[in-house]
Structure 1
Amino acid sequence: MHAFPIRIALSSVALALAAGATAAEPDPAVLGYKMPADLTWTESSANPGLSSAVLYGDPAKPGPYAVRNRFKPGSFSRPHFHPNDRVIVVLSGTWWIGTGEKFDPESTKAMPPGSVTVHYGGKVHYDGAKTEPCEILIYGIGPATSTRVP
């Protein structure tokens, strides 16, 4: 029986395949990617407790973009609107959403992970986290300006 040499050969092939699978870099002309450590998080000066990382595009310029936002507990934006529609997916925690010019966190709707929201361009809303942190993913077309309502 030659079981031992066969096991060694199969183990060598498995190691070579595994090494090849982790060593290959995708063609940057075909796709781009960022690892979690590659993300640059910036704190919002307008909304304390909110930090953002741009995943794709440039929200300040015309064109598509994707951004991750993290809200610390108790952090809410104030009533505001954006010029263009935005699609938001809740990644973790509970995100709370409200509409209208009157800021009232107690009258907000809970959005659990996996929920999807659309902010329609020019419509006033506010959002944030209550007792736990939350993270959302925003897709939109820039420029992604935010106009606060007095």
Structure 2
Amino acid sequence: MAAKRARPPESLGIDVMGRIPGLGTTVIGPDEAEWRPAPGAPPRSFEMAPLVGSYLRPEFYACYARWYPGWMSAPHTYEVDRFAVTVSGIWTVGAGPEIDLAQAIPMRPGEFSMRRAGTAHYDGALPEATEPAVFVLFGQGPAVPALVGTSDSIYVNL
């Protein structure tokens, strides 16, 4: 019998949905996550699924994120450090004030990245990708992107 999906009691302070194998433990995988387009994102470009907390508030947060093939962020920075681990697909990341795919590198499942506060960077999934790039973002919020350069949107269709 499959474990029943349920919201943990509020008294536990856990803000996630998923499988509960016992008191104090919640498990959720990317296929169970509640995916939503990121604010202002075109359909099937960039989506997020909150796990713990909110990247918009001054608290610890963790969320799944996924870029669909052919989409990337415009160069941007954050006022806080941000961390990520690739879950599936190939997540392409680069650094600097302009997108330079020749300098960007592929992040494969299991690889970790750390973006220091104030450093310009960009990321996404290349057009030739065969599946979306899924990764877990985490850190201390608020983590609101500030665009670098002339782009008027964080979402770039390659």
TM bin (shorter chain): 0.7 to 0.9
Give the paired residue count: 130
By how many angstroms is 1:38 displaced?
5.7
The Cα RMSD (Å) is 2.4
The structure in which a higher percent of residues are strand is: 2
Residues 68-122 of structure 1 show CA distances to partners (whole Å, capped at 9, x for unaligned) of 1111001100110011111100000011110111211232111100000001111
- 1:149 aligns to 2:148 (yes or no): yes
2:80 and 2:147 map into 1 onto residues whose CA distance is 15
2:46 and 2:39 map into 1 onto residues whose CA distance is 6
Shift >3 Å, 4+ stretches: 29-33
TM-score (norm 1): 0.76
Structure 2: gaps spanning 5 or more residues: 19-30, 150-158
Larger Rg: 1
1:55 alignment partner, one of 41, 51, 55: 51
1:55 and 1:68 map into 2 onto residues whose CA distance is 7
1:73 and 1:114 map into 2 onto residues whose CA distance is 19
2:94 alignment partner, one of 98, 101, 108: 98
Aligned to 2:125: 129
**One-letter amino acid matched to 1:113:** P
Q: Answer yes or no: is the 8 Å Cα contact 2:90–2:108 preserved in 1.
A: yes
1:39 alignment partner, one of 34, 53, 60: 34
Residues 43-85 of structure 1 show CA distances to partners (whole Å, capped at 9, x for unaligned) of 4425761111111101111010011111100110011001111
